[in-house]
Structure 1
Amino acid sequence: MTGSMLFGAFLAALFYVLIPGPAFLALLGIGAGQGRKAGAMFMGGHLAGDLVWSTLALVAIVGAKTVGTLVFDVLGLFCGLYLAWIGWTALRAKPRGTDQPLLAVERPLRRGLIFGLTNPKGYPVALATFTALLASSSNALDFSALPMLLAVSFFGFLIADIILIAIIGASIVRRFYKRHELAIVRMSGLLFMGFAVQAIWHAAPGLAGWRRA
């Protein structure tokens, strides 16, 4: 177990929550319309989905490593391409027009739970993000490291949730986001593109050696 591997898992969990996406936008809408308490309940429910998808992603990554490094390299390549696609889509985002009224959510905890567990992008994004940030430590990955990786990931989720809960509902945040929504989305696209480059960079040497063989 290396420090870089633990730090990579922590960052993957942190960025998985903090990078703007469907859940981030839903939280912003709930927090802006109903306050921090409702936003905190939404994130508490959504945490279950974060844990489920990150667990499946880590099991898939560790399982791929135990099968062989080639499988891990191929996985990293496809995840890098997927991240690049998400980033490119975000960079090409266009203005949505006038603001839409916020809808009240009567049970934000249940909404967060359902949202987190049914998010179709939860697993592939978790898989791609964790793969990108753990690729440099792939040689140290095995199932004995899985409990510690999950614990560190859980800590990353909590820190990210606390950060988001601390800022939602503030009028300055609502005004800033509405004024700069397109720029924020495109900046998140740049982050995804950076993850894509890292994932492909770590996968390329192994795949190049396999081709030579």
Structure 2
Amino acid sequence: MTPSLLMAVLASGFIYGITPGPGVLAVFGIGAAHGRRAGAGFLCGHLLGDVVWCSTALIAIVGAREIGSTAFDVLGVLSGLYLFWLGWRAVRARRSSADAPQGPARQPFWHGIVFGLTNPKAYPVAVATFTALLSSRAELLNWSMLPGLIALSFVGGLLAYAILIGVVGARRVRSLYQRHELAITRLCGVMFIGFAINALVHALPGLMPNKA
């Protein structure tokens, strides 16, 4: 496994874990209402869902690559379009009057497990994010690498959650997050659009008819 592929998988797991979404909003609400320990418990449970969805996404990506470059390129185009759509929605987001969900005070660990496993957007976002960042290294992917890829994505997710646990629970942090939530959301939208362009740039040439 090359250093560039290693860093790409680590970055994919990190970005997937730390990008603002329902889970991040929930943990900020839980942490502010019930403390850092409750927020950490929620994230530990939520990590199971991340492992499941990231592993499934990596299996789909490696499987598409093993089937053939065309299948991977099609997956890359679909992922790029999906990320572009998510990014465009985020860039055009408007401020919501609703507060971030607080989450239950009891059993945050089990709440995190259920939350992580039942998020309907988890799998497509995982596939799109990993495909966008791994598309330039698609030729290196094979089934023998799958355990290492899953482990690296897990480490990336742990790093993201370590940062979240470090800041969750502080009311000033939550206040700052809510004050700048719209700007953070739009910045993530721009990032997603960048990932989308990267995926499309690497996938579309492989689907073009060869004129040579």
**TM-score bin (small chain):** over 0.9
Change (3 A) 1:203 1:100: closer
Change (3 A) 1:35 1:71: same
User: Is residue 26–residue 101 contact of structure 2 (8 Å, CA) maintained in 1?
Assistant: no
Shift of 1:9: 0.7
Change (3 A) 1:101 1:57: closer
User: Is residue 76–residue 135 contact of structure 1 (8 Å, CA) maintained in 2?
Assistant: yes
Match of 1:179 in 2: 179
Shift of 1:81: 0.3
Unaligned 5+ segments in structure 2 are: none
- 2:96 matched to 1:96? yes
1:4-43 equivalences under 5 Å are: 4-43=4-43
The TM-score with structure 2 as length reference comes to 0.95
**Residue 66 of structure 1 aligns to which amino acid in structure 2?**
E
> Relative to structure 2, which stretch is displaced further, 38-47 or 94-103?
94-103
**Residue 74 of structure 2 aligns to which amino acid in structure 1?**
V
Shift of 1:100: 6.8
**Residue 170 of structure 2 aligns to which amino acid in structure 1?**
A
Change (3 A) 1:66 1:98: closer
- 2:163 matched to 1:170? no
Deviations 1:6-32 (A, max 9, x none): 111100000001110111111111111
Instruction: Tell me, in whole angstroms, the C-alpha distance in 1 between the residues paired with 2:100 and 2:124.
Output: 29
Unaligned 5+ segments in structure 1 are: none
Instruction: Tell me, in whole angstroms, the C-alpha distance in 2 between the residues paired with 1:13 and 1:97.
Output: 31
User: Is residue 65–residue 141 contact of structure 1 (8 Å, CA) maintained in 2?
Assistant: yes
> Relative to structure 2, which stretch is displaced further, 174-183 or 35-44?
174-183
Shift of 1:136: 0.9
Identity of aligned residues (%): 52
**Residue 81 of structure 2 aligns to which amino acid in structure 1?**
L
The TM-score with structure 1 as length reference comes to 0.95
Instruction: Tell me, in whole angstroms, the C-alpha distance in 2 between the residues paired with 1:190 and 1:161.
Output: 22
- 2:199 matched to 1:202? no
User: Is residue 33–residue 104 contact of structure 1 (8 Å, CA) maintained in 2?
Assistant: no
Deviations 1:83-108 (A, max 9, x none): 00001111111111264784543111
Match of 1:116 in 2: 116
Shift of 1:148: 0.8
Instruction: Tell me, in whole angstroms, the C-alpha distance in 2 between the residues paired with 1:211 and 1:106.
Output: 60
Deviations 1:9-61 (A, max 9, x none): 10000000111011111111111111110010000000100000011100000
1:37-186 equivalences under 5 Å are: 37-97=37-97, 99=99, 102=102, 104-186=104-186
Change (3 A) 1:184 1:130: same
User: Is residue 36–residue 169 contact of structure 1 (8 Å, CA) maintained in 2?
Assistant: yes
Supply the RMSD in Å over aligned alpha carbons: 1.5
Shift of 1:172: 2.4
